[in-house]
Amino acid sequence: MTTNHFIPGTQREVWSGMISDDPSAEVGVLGVPFDRAVSFRSGTSFAPAKLRELTTHLSCCTEEGQPLSLRVRDYGDVPADLEWSRYFQEVEERAKEVLHHPHALFLGGDHSVTIPLMRAFNLSVDGAFGVLHFDAHLDLFDTFDGHRWSHACSERRALELSGLDPQNLVLVGVRSFCQEEQDFLKTHPEISCYTARQCYQRGIEEIAEEVVERLRGVEAVYFTLDIDGLDPAYAPGTGNLEAGGLSTRDLLELARIVFMKLPIRALDVVEVAPPLDHSDITAFAALKAIYEAWGVIQEKQKQSTS
């Protein structure tokens, strides 16, 4: 089932009018409004609704004026369930349907929702896949707060999947380290980790090109975008703020390069917390990244048919 095409009280369409019921639409969208796995401040369960609401006020084009004509089929949200394991199983099953589209967008939710989403992705890809993890944190704890499904464990769980080799995991924007995670990285030097300071010193374009080289050759790439990878000045509405992060401009340039040069089939946007936001700054930053990524997808499609 798709969501209603209109937000109540408005005359503007969701996803700037790109909404479609066509099962062959270029993009499928699924919301996962879950925030029971946070370790600090909650509020990310409100993000899917807020992000959709704001799309009714966005122009249907990229920042350089390229009109967007992609068809977007929105499958709504995975309904809340108080039983955590049953909920994640439902998320995985719903995600499989969305992954039938050439490109999938998943709206979190805290970063734990990436765990069932990547399980579904693993089943949808024949062969090896890569993960680009944009985040202030490594998320490589085996357990956190006594649970293996904490939002601090998403990439540790990803590395248990059959299709993901550690050499195909790339972390960008990191600036928070804990000893357990550092010890894990030392035993897995094949994992690529680019700190926020490295991104600043070397420039985001150089880092992005290196990411492309590291993930070149995989069948597909999953891009998990934790909004706290941005500096709090650009994304105040999130639960675990870390100063010294990347700018929205950096994120857009990173997205442009990797979406153009890598087979990215899925993007999740997590840790946007509307109750903690100011003037929807964080939500608008997330949407800007989504729309610019869609612009690149559309550009690649035109190139492949010309």
Q: Domains in the chain and their CATH numbers?
A: 14-305 (3.40.800.10)
92 or 146: which carries more pLDDT confidence? 92
| pLDDT > 70? residue 306 | no
Distance CA 228, CA 136 (A): 6
- Per the confidence metrics, is the pTM higher than 0.75? yes
pLDDT at 84: 77
Residue 110 · residue 151 · CB < 8 Å? yes
Residue 2 · residue 15 · CB < 8 Å? no
| Model confidence pLDDT, tens digit, residues 240-269 | 889 999 999 999 999 999 999 999 999 999
Q: Fill in the amino acid letter for 108.
A: G
Distance CA 224, CA 211 (A): 14
Query: Which residue, among 47, 12, 13, 17, has the nearest Cα to 30 in the 3D structure?
Result: 47
pLDDT at 4: 45
All residues at 6 or more sequence positions from 84 whose CB lies less than 8 Å from its CB, including other chains: 36, 149
Distance CA 269, CA 249 (A): 17
Q: Is 147 helix (H, G, I), strand (E, B) or coil?
A: strand
The pLDDT-based confidence of 149 (bands split at 50, 70, 90) is: low
Distance CA 115, CA 137 (A): 16
| pLDDT > 70? residue 137 | yes
* 139 to 108, 143, 166, 278: CA distances (angstroms): 16, 10, 14, 26
pLDDT at 41: 74
The pLDDT-based confidence of 204 (bands split at 50, 70, 90) is: very high
Tell me the three-class secondary structure of 256-299, residue by residue: HHHHHHCCEEEEEEECCCHHHCCCCHHHHHHHHHHHHHHHHHHH
């030097």: which residue's tokens?
189
pLDDT at 148: 67
| pLDDT > 60? residue 201 | yes
| pLDDT > 80? residue 153 | no
Q: How many distinct helices (H) and strands (E) make up the chain?
A: 9, 8
Least confident of 36-40, 219-223, 287-291: 36-40
Pairing mode of beta strands 220-226, 129-134 = parallel
The pLDDT-based confidence of 227 (bands split at 50, 70, 90) is: very high
* 47 to 26, 43, 152, 271: CA distances (angstroms): 23, 8, 19, 8
What is the C-alpha end-to-end distance of the chain, expressed in Å? 34
Other CB atoms within 10 Å distance of the CB of residue 76: 15
Residue 131 · residue 169 · CB < 8 Å? yes
